[in-house]
Amino acid sequence: MPSSHKRALSLPLELPVLTTPSQTAAPRVTLRAFTAADVGLVQSASRDPLIPLITSVPTTAGRPEALAFIERQHQRLISGAGWSFAIADASSDAAVGQIGLWPGQSSRRTSNPDTIGYWIGQDHRNHGYAAAALDLLTEWALTEANMRRIHLYIEPWNEGSWRTAERAGYRRDALLPSWQKVGAQWKDMYRYIRTPL
Ligand SMILES: CC(C)(COP(=O)(O)OP(=O)(O)OC[C@H]1O[C@@H](n2cnc3c(N)ncnc32)[C@H](O)[C@@H]1OP(=O)(O)O)[C@@H](O)C(=O)NCCC(=O)NCCS
């Protein structure tokens, strides 16, 4: 097995299932592995103007391409790249989006920061799902996964995303000029950070 495919020692063998504590106000979310039942959500995300530019969701995916995306999410854990979860409504278990935790320095394989990325399908936005999922996964990363600091990188125009970050307890600490390529263009990014409370 090539070394790039070896599992990082710090990663667990299975994707955990994380659920918002029952006493928490709605919406409550479950973070779980993607299944074939989530194909429709992936196909709708593939028609979003932004999501295919910042993720590996293909543009205008048919069912085979959406299933291939789901298989790639399972491989993230196997390859040691990180944890990719479907965000599901905790009551119905219907998938509404995706959130990933990508270990950097905590894996000891790179000095890059530990980061989280997320998206919510267009039909499910403005219900609090992103903030609930980000808060839940950040708590898990800082406690169960022993990470010390999580970074988010958000374009300044993307108020929905930086308000999600602030709602989940992140604070903005920098504006990074020409930091990340989005499509063909280098974009400025706000950096948001959360550390253990
Ligand atoms: C950004 C995104 C994840 C937000 O998801 P969401 O589930 O609708 O967000 P929530 O309902 O949890 O809202 C969280 C906060 O953001 C605010 N918000 C959400 N969308 C907003 C928008 N378009 N404009 C301004 N504020 C917005 C909410 O009012 C809430 O703020 P509050 O706590 O101050 O009331 C979603 O719009 C999305 O997937 N966009 C495309 C992909 C993307 O941008 N991913 C992030 C890349 S960094």
pLDDT tens readout for residues 100-134: 999 998 887 888 999 999 999 999 999 999 999 99
Average pLDDT, the chain: 92
Residue 159 is predicted with a pLDDT of 98
pLDDT at 111: 87
Of 132, 154, 150, nearest in space to 141 by CA: 150
Mean pLDDT across the stretch 170-195? 97
pLDDT score, position 138: 98
List, for residues 39-54, the tens digit of each pLDDT value: 999 999 999 999 999 9
Mean pLDDT of 167-186: 96
Give the span between the Cα atoms of 87 and 3, in whole angstroms: 31
Distance, in Å, from the CA atom of 118 to the CA atom of 128, rounded to the nearest integer, reads 13
Per the CB < 8 A criterion, the answer to whether 71 and 86 are in contact is no
First to last CA, the chain: 40
Q: What residue type is assigned to position 111 of the chain?
A: S
Dihedral angle over CA of 168, 174, 180, 184, nearest 10: 100
Q: Whole-angstrom Cα distance, residue 119 to residue 129?
A: 10
Q: Give the right CATH number for 3-147 from 3.40.640.10, 3.40.50.20, 3.40.630.30, 3.40.50.720.
A: 3.40.630.30
Closest CA to 30 of 96, 90, 106: 90
pLDDT number for residue 13:
63
- Predicted pLDDT of residue 86: 98
Dump pLDDT digits (tens) for 73-110: 999 998 889 999 999 999 999 999 999 999 998 887 88
Residue ID of nearest Cα to ligand 1 atom 23: 160
Using CA positions, which residue lies closest to atom 12 of ligand 1? 128
For position 2, what pLDDT does the model report? 41
Q: Which residue has the higher pLDDT, 124 or 22?
A: 124
Instruction: Name all residues whose Cβ lies below 6 A of ligand 1.
Output: 50-51, 54, 118-120, 125-131, 154, 158-161, 163-164, 167
pLDDT band at 10 (very low <50, low <70, confident <90, very high): very low
Tell me how far the alpha carbon of residue 158 lies from the centroid of ligand 1, in angstroms.
8
Alpha carbon nearest to ligand 1 atom 36, residue: 120
Are 119 and 48 within 8 A, CB to CB? yes
